[in-house]
Amino acid sequence: MTAPTIRSPAGEFWRRLRRRHTALAAGVVVLLIVLIAIFAPLLAPYDPAAADYDAVLQGPSLAHLAGTDSYGRDILSRIIWGGRISLTVGLVSAFAGGLVGTALGLISGWAGGWVDTALMRLCDVLFAFPGILLAIAVVALLGPGVANVVWAVAVFSVPVFARLVRGTTMALKEAQYVQAGRTIGVPGSKLMLYHILPGALPVVIVYMSLRIGSAILVGAALSFIGLGAQPPSPEWGAMLADGRAYLGVADHLTLFPGLAIFIVVLSFNVLGDGLRDALSQRLH
């Protein structure tokens, strides 16, 4: 009789993930987008800020694969460079919101009592505002700019992470191994960091991957209304704002930045769904 194969947690996760071909394809797309943003100086065919008034509003051609804008700037080069801005907004804001929200959720779920009540009422206040309106309010207070957009998007990400981690913490702190640790006098900080946090990480990782796409979308929306990246920054939302005046005349000005936003957000969402399924214990 053949002994059963014992897989490590990482091996089991990979076995489940590779069955989800759409998630793997989305992961490949995300990786390619990240690499393109990193190597933008080498891949962009033109300087994204260089104007060419002899090539204004040209459609896609061999010289300019995605056409040119109202200043003769190469749209493909601007999209490649703009990926750096959009990915920075998505990754940094999701990580910052996840870090703060995870810390608050751990403290709230572990401490309970008035600490839990106070932190959750704070989250309820933030939940009372739609995410985009809260982001607009934060940017309105701090002023326009990419850095302030990152903070604005991070702020409305915090309460969701806090709620998710709080629920996981409250469930895990009743587990026998945690109760045994408390009985023998293990400090609460060690129990949270070494026993409860690892159990909450799958939830955080899945939601963070989903949140990155939402953060990129909100960042583009803020730039579209003039509160995010400022001209002549090649940010995708700002490019959409510049191109809306030429709809029907030069549709490529909005088509290609819109496709870039669509592909990136869709890829992160599909990847997040795949990670959720691969990490979910209830489905297996």
Domains and CATH numbers, the chain: 79-279 (1.10.3720.10)
> How many Cα atoms within 13 Å fall on the side-chain side of residue 55?
19
Higher pLDDT, 159 or 12: 159
Task: Out of 92-106, 166-180, 234-248, pick the least confident.
Answer: 166-180
C-alpha distances out from residue 134 to 224, 245, 272, Å: 16, 28, 24
The residue whose two tokens read 């709809």 is 247
> Is the predicted pLDDT of residue 6 greater than 70, yes or no?
no
Are the beta carbons of 217 and 263 closer than 8 angstroms? no
Type and span of the H or E element at 27: helix 21-38
Task: Out of 13-22, 196-205, 225-234, pick the least confident.
Answer: 13-22
Query: What is the C-alpha to C-alpha distance for residues 221 and 75, in angstroms, rounded to an integer?
Result: 19
Query: What is the C-alpha to C-alpha distance for residues 226 and 222, in angstroms, rounded to an integer?
Result: 6
Q: What single string gives the DSSP state of each residue in 177-214?
A: HHHHHHHTT--HHHHIIIIIHHHHHHHHHHHHHHHHHH
Mean pLDDT of 201-206: 83
Question: Quick one: pLDDT at residue 282?
Answer: 44
Are the beta carbons of 116 and 166 closer than 8 angstroms? yes
Question: Quick one: pLDDT at residue 1?
Answer: 46
- Which pTM does this prediction carry? 0.83
Q: What residue spans of 39-194 are helical by DSSP H?
A: 40-43, 75-111, 113-127, 131-142, 146-172, 176-183, 188-191
pLDDT band at 125 (very low <50, low <70, confident <90, very high): confident
pLDDT digits (tens, 9 = 90+) for 53-83: 888 888 888 888 888 888 889 999 999 999 8
> How many Cα atoms within 13 Å fall on the side-chain side of residue 92?
14
Question: Quick one: pLDDT at residue 5?
Answer: 55
The backbone torsions φ and ψ at residue 68, rounded to the nearest 5 degrees and listed phi first, read -130, 165
Question: Quick one: pLDDT at residue 177?
Answer: 75
